[in-house]
Structure 1
Amino acid sequence: MAAINQASSFMRTKTSTSSPSSSSHRLIITRASIHLPKISTANLDIFTPNLASNISMVQEMHKFSRITPKNPTSNPNVHPDHEVILEKLYLILEAVSDRVEMHKNIGEQRNNWNSLLLTCINTITLSAATMAGIASAITSVPGAPLETLKLSSSFLYLAATGMLVIMNKIQPSQLVEEQRNAARLFKQLESEIKTKIAISKPTLSDVNDAMEKVLALDRAYPLPLLGVMLEKFPAKVEPAVWWPEKPTTSKRRNDKNGWSVDLEEEMREIIKVLEVKDKDDYVRLGEKALKLNKGLAVAGPLLTGLGAIGSAFLASAPHSSWAMVLGVMGGAMASVVNTIQHGGQVGMVFEMYRSNAGFFKMMQESIESNLKERDVGRRENGEVFEMKVALQLGRSLSELRDVAASSSRKGKDVEEFGSKLF
Structure 2
Amino acid sequence: MASLKASSLMFSSTSLSLCCRREIIRAAIHMPKLRHGGLLSLPKLTKTRGLVEELEMRSSYTNTNTNSSPKYDTRVSEPTVIAKLYAIMKAIADRVEMHKNIGEQRNNWNSLLLTSINAITLTATTMASIAATGVGSGVALVSLKLSSTLLYLADTRMLLIMNKVQPSQLTEEQQNASRLFNQLHEEIYTMVCTGNSTMNDVKKAMEKVFALDKAYPFPLLGVMLEKFPKTVEPAIWWPLHQKNRQAIGYNGRKINNMNDWDDKLEEEMREIVRVLKRKDEEDYLRLGEKSLKLNKVLAISGPLLTDLAAIGSAFVGSPSHGSWTVVLGVVGGALSTVVNAFEHGGQVGMVFEMY
**Taking structure 2 as the reference length, what is the TM-score of the superposition?**
0.76
The offset of 1:270, in angstroms, is: 3.2
Which residue does 2:154 correspond to in 1? Answer: 159
1:228 matched to 2:231? The reply is no
Distance, in Å, in 2 between the alignment partners of 1:156 and 1:328 is 13
CA RMSD, Structure 1 to Structure 2 (Å): 2.7
Which residue of 325, 328, 337 corresponds with 1:326? 328
Instruction: Provide, for residues 194-219 of structure 1, a one-character-per-residue CA deviation record: whole Å limited to 9, x for no partner.
Output: 22112223111110111111111112
The residue identity in structure 2 corresponding to 1:201 is N
Residues 1:150 and 1:58: Cα distance change in structure 2 (over 3 Å): farther
Matched, 1:90 2:93: no
Q: What amino acid sits opposite 1:286 in the alignment?
A: G
Aligned ranges for residues 292-371 of structure 1 at < 5 Å?
A: 292-353=294-355
1:318 positional shift: 1.9
Structure 2 CA distance for partners of 1:316 and 1:204, relative to 1, 3 Å: same
The 8 Å contact of residues 125 and 335 in structure 1, kept in 2 or not, is answered as: yes
1:65 maps to which residue?
A: 31
> Is contact 2:40-2:77 (8 Å) kept?
no
Q: CA separation of 1:133/1:90 partners in 2, compared to 1, >3 Å: closer, same or farther?
A: same
How much has 1:73 moved relative to structure 2? 4.2
1:198 maps to amino acid: C
2:232, 2:289 within 8 Å by CA — same for their partners in 1?
yes
- Deviation per residue, 1:288-329 (Å, 9 max, x gap): 000000000000000000110001111111213011111101
* Change beyond 3 A, Cα 1:284–1:119: same
Q: Is the 8 A contact 2:129 2:326 kept in 1?
A: yes
Change (3 A) 1:74 1:301: closer
Check whether the contact 1:129–1:153 (CA below 8 A) recurs between aligned residues: yes
Cα distance in 1 for residues equivalent to 2:25 and 2:308: 91
> 1:408 matched to which residue of 2?
none
Question: 1:254 & 1:300 partners in 2: Cα distance?
Answer: 53
Partner AA of 2:289 in structure 1: E
Return the alpha-carbon distance in structure 1 between the equivalents of residues 253 and 120 of structure 2. 69
* Aligned length in residues: 296
Shift of 1:83: 2.1
Aligned pairs for 1:2-401 within 5 A: 60=26, 63-65=29-31, 68=33, 73=38, 75=40, 81-138=77-134, 141-143=136-138, 145-245=140-240, 246=242, 247-248=244-245, 249=248, 259-260=262-263, 266-353=268-355
- The answer (yes or no) to whether the contact 2:312–2:327 under 8 Å persists in 1 is yes
| Counterpart residue type for residue 259 of structure 1 | D
CA contact (8 A) 1:220 1:240 kept: no
1:361-389 Cα deviation digits (max 9, x unpaired): xxxxxxxxxxxxxxxxxxxxxxxxxxxxx
- Spell out, residue by residue over 1:204-242, the C-alpha distance to the aligned partner (whole angstroms, 9 max, x if none): 111011111111111211111011111000000111122
Residues 278 and 255 (structure 1), Cα distance of their counterparts in 2 relative to 1, 3 Å cut: closer
Q: Deviations over 1:91-145 (max 9, x none)?
A: 2111101100110000000000000000000000000000000000126x54560
Distance 1:128 1:305 in 2: 12
**Structure 1, 194-203 or 233-242: larger mean CA deviation:** 194-203
> How far apart in 2 are the matches of 1:229 and 1:161?
22
Return the letter of the residue paired with 1:333. L
Tell me, yes or no, if the aligned pair for 1:220 and 1:242 is still in contact at 8 Å.
yes
| 1:327–1:112 Cα change, 3 Å | same
SS at match of 2:30: helix
Indicate if the aligned counterparts of 2:145 and 2:313 stay in contact, CA closer than 8 A.
yes
Aligned mates of 2:36, 2:344 — CA distance in 1: 63
- Equivalent in the alignment of 1:381: none
Where in structure 2 are there 5+ consecutive unaligned residues?
1-21, 44-74
Give me the whole-angstrom Cα distance separating, in 2, the residues matched to 1:112 and 1:310.
Answer: 33
C-alpha distance in structure 2 between counterparts of 1:62 and 1:171, whole Å: 66
- Bigger relative contact order, structure 1 or 2 (CA pairs below 8 A, ≥6 apart): 2
Kept after mapping to 1: 8 A contact 2:312/2:328: yes
1:175-206 deviation line (CA, Å, top 9, x unaligned): 00000111111111112212211222311111
User: What is the rounded CA distance, in whole Å, between the counterparts of 1:89 and 1:160 in structure 2?
Assistant: 50
Scaled by the length of structure 1, what TM-score is found?
A: 0.65
Higher mean C-alpha displacement, 305-314 vs 246-255: 246-255
